[in-house]
Amino acid sequence: GDAFTSERMVNVLKDSRFFKDLDAAVLETLPKHAKFLNVPNGAVLFRQGDPAKGCYIIVSGKVGFYAGGNSNTPRQPPTEMNETIPEAARRVHTYEGFSTFSKVSDYGQCVKKSGTGEVFGELALMDGGAVPRKATARCLDESELLFVSAEGFEEVKKYVKELEMQKREFLVSCLPGMKDVKKVAGHSSGNCFHQERHPQGTLLLRQGLSEERV
Protein backbone atom coordinates (compact mmCIF):
# COMPACT_ATOMS: atom_id res chain seq x y z
CA GLY A 1 0.00 0.00 0.00
CA ASP A 2 0.90 3.69 -0.04
CA ALA A 3 2.15 3.63 3.57
CA PHE A 4 4.52 0.77 2.83
CA THR A 5 5.77 2.49 -0.36
CA SER A 6 6.36 5.77 1.50
CA GLU A 7 8.23 3.98 4.28
CA ARG A 8 10.40 2.18 1.74
CA MET A 9 11.13 5.50 -0.02
CA VAL A 10 12.24 7.07 3.27
CA ASN A 11 14.52 4.09 3.98
CA VAL A 12 16.10 4.38 0.52
CA LEU A 13 16.67 8.10 1.08
CA LYS A 14 18.23 7.44 4.51
CA ASP A 15 20.65 4.95 2.97
CA SER A 16 21.82 7.35 0.26
CA ARG A 17 24.92 9.49 0.66
CA PHE A 18 23.18 12.68 -0.47
CA PHE A 19 19.97 12.56 1.59
CA LYS A 20 21.02 10.61 4.71
CA ASP A 21 21.78 13.65 6.91
CA LEU A 22 18.41 15.32 6.39
CA ASP A 23 16.03 15.76 9.29
CA ALA A 24 13.41 12.98 9.57
CA ALA A 25 10.60 15.53 9.09
CA VAL A 26 12.05 16.57 5.72
CA LEU A 27 12.61 12.97 4.59
CA GLU A 28 8.99 12.17 5.35
CA THR A 29 7.78 14.96 3.03
CA LEU A 30 9.74 13.67 0.03
CA PRO A 31 7.64 10.58 -0.88
CA LYS A 32 4.89 12.86 -2.25
CA HIS A 33 7.50 14.15 -4.72
CA ALA A 34 8.98 10.73 -5.51
CA LYS A 35 8.24 7.43 -7.25
CA PHE A 36 9.91 4.10 -7.88
CA LEU A 37 10.84 3.28 -11.48
CA ASN A 38 11.58 -0.12 -12.98
CA VAL A 39 13.73 0.66 -16.01
CA PRO A 40 14.87 -1.92 -18.59
CA ASN A 41 18.47 -2.41 -19.66
CA GLY A 42 19.36 0.10 -22.39
CA ALA A 43 16.70 2.66 -21.53
CA VAL A 44 17.77 6.31 -21.43
CA LEU A 45 16.60 8.56 -18.61
CA PHE A 46 17.86 11.84 -20.04
CA ARG A 47 20.34 13.05 -22.64
CA GLN A 48 23.15 15.56 -22.50
CA GLY A 49 21.78 19.08 -22.97
CA ASP A 50 18.28 18.27 -21.65
CA PRO A 51 16.59 20.39 -18.97
CA ALA A 52 16.44 18.74 -15.53
CA LYS A 53 13.22 17.15 -14.32
CA GLY A 54 14.54 15.54 -11.12
CA CYS A 55 17.26 13.41 -9.55
CA TYR A 56 17.60 9.68 -8.97
CA ILE A 57 18.77 7.14 -6.40
CA ILE A 58 19.83 3.72 -7.70
CA VAL A 59 17.98 1.08 -5.64
CA SER A 60 19.39 -1.76 -7.75
CA GLY A 61 21.13 -2.09 -11.10
CA LYS A 62 23.70 0.10 -12.81
CA VAL A 63 23.61 3.37 -14.76
CA GLY A 64 26.21 4.65 -17.23
CA PHE A 65 26.93 8.29 -18.03
CA TYR A 66 28.04 9.41 -21.48
CA ALA A 67 29.42 12.71 -22.79
CA GLY A 68 29.94 13.85 -26.37
CA GLY A 69 28.39 11.97 -29.27
CA ASN A 70 25.94 13.34 -31.80
CA SER A 71 24.24 16.41 -30.32
CA ASN A 72 21.63 16.69 -33.10
CA THR A 73 19.81 13.34 -32.87
CA PRO A 74 18.41 13.79 -29.32
CA ARG A 75 16.04 16.49 -30.64
CA GLN A 76 14.58 14.33 -33.42
CA PRO A 77 10.91 13.32 -32.94
CA PRO A 78 9.94 9.79 -31.88
CA THR A 79 9.19 7.26 -34.62
CA GLU A 80 5.53 6.99 -35.60
CA MET A 81 3.89 3.60 -35.00
CA ASN A 82 3.08 3.11 -38.70
CA GLU A 83 6.53 4.20 -39.89
CA THR A 84 8.48 1.38 -41.57
CA ILE A 85 12.12 1.50 -40.51
CA PRO A 86 14.54 -1.03 -38.95
CA GLU A 87 13.66 -1.80 -35.31
CA ALA A 88 17.08 -0.67 -34.07
CA ALA A 89 16.57 2.78 -35.59
CA ARG A 90 13.13 3.40 -34.06
CA ARG A 91 13.22 6.46 -31.81
CA VAL A 92 11.40 6.65 -28.46
CA HIS A 93 11.24 9.32 -25.75
CA THR A 94 13.66 9.31 -22.83
CA TYR A 95 12.07 8.83 -19.40
CA GLU A 96 12.08 12.58 -18.75
CA GLY A 97 10.60 13.20 -22.19
CA PHE A 98 12.78 16.08 -23.39
CA SER A 99 14.61 14.08 -26.04
CA THR A 100 14.58 10.77 -27.94
CA PHE A 101 16.92 7.83 -28.52
CA SER A 102 17.21 4.59 -30.47
CA LYS A 103 19.17 1.38 -30.04
CA VAL A 104 21.86 2.79 -32.34
CA SER A 105 22.10 6.29 -30.82
CA ASP A 106 25.55 7.83 -30.44
CA TYR A 107 25.90 8.89 -26.78
CA GLY A 108 29.63 9.56 -26.89
CA GLN A 109 32.13 8.17 -24.38
CA CYS A 110 31.12 6.46 -21.14
CA VAL A 111 32.68 8.65 -18.45
CA LYS A 112 31.25 7.03 -15.32
CA LYS A 113 29.23 4.08 -14.02
CA SER A 114 27.15 4.19 -10.83
CA GLY A 115 25.55 1.44 -8.77
CA THR A 116 23.26 0.76 -5.80
CA GLY A 117 22.84 3.63 -3.34
CA GLU A 118 24.36 6.31 -5.55
CA VAL A 119 22.55 9.55 -6.41
CA PHE A 120 22.73 11.22 -9.81
CA GLY A 121 21.10 14.12 -11.64
CA GLU A 122 21.17 16.41 -8.60
CA LEU A 123 23.83 18.81 -9.90
CA ALA A 124 21.56 20.16 -12.63
CA LEU A 125 18.98 21.02 -9.94
CA MET A 126 21.29 23.12 -7.79
CA ASP A 127 20.32 26.32 -9.63
CA GLY A 128 16.61 25.59 -9.89
CA GLY A 129 16.98 23.30 -12.89
CA ALA A 130 18.42 26.06 -15.08
CA VAL A 131 21.61 24.08 -15.79
CA PRO A 132 21.33 21.59 -18.71
CA ARG A 133 22.27 17.95 -18.15
CA LYS A 134 26.02 17.52 -18.49
CA ALA A 135 25.79 13.89 -19.62
CA THR A 136 23.42 11.22 -20.90
CA ALA A 137 22.17 8.67 -18.33
CA ARG A 138 21.51 5.16 -19.64
CA CYS A 139 20.68 1.98 -17.71
CA LEU A 140 23.32 -0.73 -18.12
CA ASP A 141 21.20 -3.36 -16.33
CA GLU A 142 17.54 -3.78 -15.53
CA SER A 143 17.37 -1.20 -12.75
CA GLU A 144 15.09 0.03 -9.98
CA LEU A 145 15.41 3.75 -9.30
CA LEU A 146 13.84 6.19 -6.90
CA PHE A 147 13.02 9.39 -8.79
CA VAL A 148 12.74 12.64 -6.77
CA SER A 149 11.17 15.50 -8.72
CA ALA A 150 12.67 18.98 -9.01
CA GLU A 151 9.90 20.22 -6.69
CA GLY A 152 10.99 17.73 -4.02
CA PHE A 153 14.60 18.76 -4.45
CA GLU A 154 13.59 22.41 -3.90
CA GLU A 155 12.09 21.33 -0.53
CA VAL A 156 15.48 19.90 0.43
CA LYS A 157 17.30 23.06 -0.63
CA LYS A 158 14.84 25.19 1.36
CA TYR A 159 15.45 23.08 4.47
CA VAL A 160 19.24 23.28 4.12
CA LYS A 161 19.04 27.06 3.63
CA GLU A 162 16.89 27.48 6.76
CA LEU A 163 19.25 25.27 8.76
CA GLU A 164 22.21 27.35 7.63
CA MET A 165 20.39 30.52 8.71
CA GLN A 166 19.54 29.07 12.13
CA LYS A 167 23.15 28.01 12.65
CA ARG A 168 24.39 31.50 11.81
CA GLU A 169 21.81 33.14 14.09
CA PHE A 170 22.94 30.86 16.92
CA LEU A 171 26.59 31.76 16.40
CA VAL A 172 25.81 35.49 16.27
CA SER A 173 23.78 35.36 19.48
CA CYS A 174 26.18 33.14 21.44
CA LEU A 175 29.61 34.15 20.18
CA PRO A 176 30.74 37.80 20.23
CA GLY A 177 32.05 39.08 16.93
CA MET A 178 30.53 36.32 14.74
CA LYS A 179 28.07 38.81 13.22
CA ASP A 180 31.08 40.37 11.48
CA VAL A 181 32.12 37.10 9.81
CA LYS A 182 31.05 37.31 6.18
CA LYS A 183 29.79 34.41 4.13
CA VAL A 184 32.37 33.75 1.42
CA ALA A 185 32.10 31.40 -1.56
CA GLY A 186 29.31 29.31 -0.08
CA HIS A 187 30.95 28.95 3.34
CA SER A 188 29.32 30.09 6.56
CA SER A 189 30.68 31.11 9.93
CA GLY A 190 30.10 27.52 11.04
CA ASN A 191 33.04 26.51 8.86
CA CYS A 192 35.36 28.45 11.20
CA PHE A 193 35.05 25.70 13.80
CA HIS A 194 36.31 22.16 14.05
CA GLN A 195 36.46 19.61 16.83
CA GLU A 196 39.69 18.36 18.39
CA ARG A 197 40.50 16.12 21.37
CA HIS A 198 43.41 16.96 23.70
CA PRO A 199 44.70 15.19 26.81
CA GLN A 200 44.30 16.90 30.17
CA GLY A 201 46.89 19.60 30.77
CA THR A 202 47.49 20.47 27.11
CA LEU A 203 48.39 24.17 26.63
CA LEU A 204 46.05 25.69 24.02
CA LEU A 205 46.83 29.41 24.30
CA ARG A 206 49.60 31.51 25.84
CA GLN A 207 49.23 35.18 26.62
CA GLY A 208 50.93 37.42 24.08
CA LEU A 209 50.81 34.88 21.22
CA SER A 210 48.49 35.19 18.22
CA GLU A 211 46.98 32.01 16.81
CA GLU A 212 44.82 31.57 13.72
CA ARG A 213 42.83 28.77 15.31
CA VAL A 214 42.36 27.14 18.70
Read off the pLDDT of residues 105-115 as tens digits, 9 standing for 90 and up: 999 999 999 99
CA distance 182 to 122: 27
Report pTM.
0.72
Work out the pLDDT band at 38, boundaries 50, 70, 90.
very high
Strand partners, 149: 54
Read off the pLDDT of residues 172-184 as tens digits, 9 standing for 90 and up: 676 655 556 555 5
Average pLDDT over residues 70-79: 83
The answer to whether 17 and 120 are in contact (CB under 8 A) is no
Read off the pLDDT of residues 42-72 as tens digits, 9 standing for 90 and up: 999 999 999 999 999 999 999 999 999 887 7
Is the model more confident about 108 or about 214? Answer: 108
Cβ partners under 8 Å of residue 53, min gap 6:
46, 96, 97, 98, 129, 149, 150
